[in-house]
Amino acid sequence: MDENKRFSFREAITENPVLFQCVGLCSIIAGTSTLKDSLFIAVMIAADLIITCTLASLFFKKIPRYVRIALYLVIGLAIIYPVLWYIETRTLIEVSLGMRIIIPLIAVNSVTAVHCETYSVKHSVGSALADALSAAFGTALVAVICGTIREIIGKGTVGGYTLDMKFTMSTMSMPFGCLVLLGFLAAIIKALISLNRRSRNVSSETEAPEQPEEIDLGIEQSEAPETVDMIIADYDDIDSILSSTDEFLRSLNGYEDGGDEQ
């Protein structure tokens, strides 16, 4: 992996933790039925991810792994407790009962554990922070998109303001609605990546028509494996389960085709 990693909008989209790594799904599914809740969840996840990854990179490199994992929970609770306490003592802040249960669950969010274990504890603080920022931005973006669409279709409102909707679908407020939205978002991003790759291939063909045919064939053969392939692949140990998407993401980003990373 790149030691001097920088925040990348492209990475936040193409390596989205929720859509392609299937992590942090609980907070997104349970906590994004309205725009307001989703904004809250997005901010809390981002804070937890950025602070925990930075601390993990600074102090946790020599701590045994099983202790580190418990420390992520402790840090998460240390971030979340003051927020929950503030919400409870300030009656002006309206947070639903469900959200008061969902917010503490961010402390055991798999996005944080996966990013800390696969990246932060192996890299410098700057790189870990950049990785955390990318993951946080990607997760927050998905949360806000899901929250907005679910509130509009599920309740006929957006940010609490009533819209003139002819019909609403209460199923959108259920996990079903969120999962369907996640499916469409993942498909849209895959389509955009595919279009981008195709246009790059076309431009490289027009710019360098003298390229031997074997290289074209090589590019065809190095198509990104499907995510399900990646999920089904045999893992040697539990580290591989946590970092299971590396190979897929590398090919998705065009690393193997001489993409941006090279």
Is 144 a binding residue for other proteins by CB under 8 A? The answer is no
Cβ-contact 143, 37 below 8 angstroms: no
Q: Which of 12, 13, 23, 146 binds other proteins (CB under 8 A)?
A: 23
Is 74 a binding residue for other proteins by CB under 8 A? The answer is yes
Is 170 a binding residue for other proteins by CB under 8 A? The answer is yes
Is 73 a binding residue for other proteins by CB under 8 A? The answer is yes
Q: Which is nearer to other proteins, 156 or 175 (CB)?
A: 175
d(CA 163, CA 89): 32
Residue 192 beta carbon to other proteins: minimum distance, rounded to whole angstroms: 9
Show contacts with other proteins in window 195-234 (CB under 8 A).
Answer: 226-234
Element spanning 239, H or E: helix 238-242
Nearest by Cα to 36 from 116, 98, 80: 98
Show contacts with other proteins in window 79-118 (CB under 8 A).
Answer: 80-81, 84-85, 87-88, 100-101, 103-105, 107-110, 113
Give SS3 for 103: helix
Binding-residue total with other proteins (CB under 8 A): 71
Place of tokens 């090589």: 218
* 49-57, 163-171, 202-210, 211-219 -> range binding other proteins (CB under 8 A): 163-171
Q: Which is nearer to other proteins, 104 or 126 (CB)?
A: 104
* 5-13, 121-129, 179-187, 213-221 -> range binding other proteins (CB under 8 A): 179-187
Q: Which is nearer to other proteins, 5 or 76 (CB)?
A: 76
Q: Which is nearer to other proteins, 125 or 145 (CB)?
A: 145
Residue 106 beta carbon to other proteins: minimum distance, rounded to whole angstroms: 9
**Helices 97-105 and 65-89 meet at what angle, rounded to 10?**
150
> What string marks each residue from 118 to 137 as x (binds other proteins by CB under 8 A) or -?
--------------------
Q: Which is nearer to other proteins, 30 or 39 (CB)?
A: 30
Cα–chain-centroid distance for residue 200?
A: 26
Q: Which is nearer to other proteins, 58 or 180 (CB)?
A: 180
Burial of 246 (0-12, 13-18, 19+ CB in 10 A): middle
Positions of E strands within the chain: 157-158, 161-162
Q: Which of 11, 14, 15, 20 binds other proteins (CB under 8 A)?
A: 20
Q: Which of 50, 244, 249, 256 binds other proteins (CB under 8 A)?
A: 244
CA distances (Å), origin 232, targets 226, 229, 246, 255? 10, 5, 14, 22
Cβ-contact 177, 153 below 8 angstroms: yes
d(CA 32, CA 52): 23
Is 184 a binding residue for other proteins by CB under 8 A? The answer is yes
d(CA 81, CA 107): 10
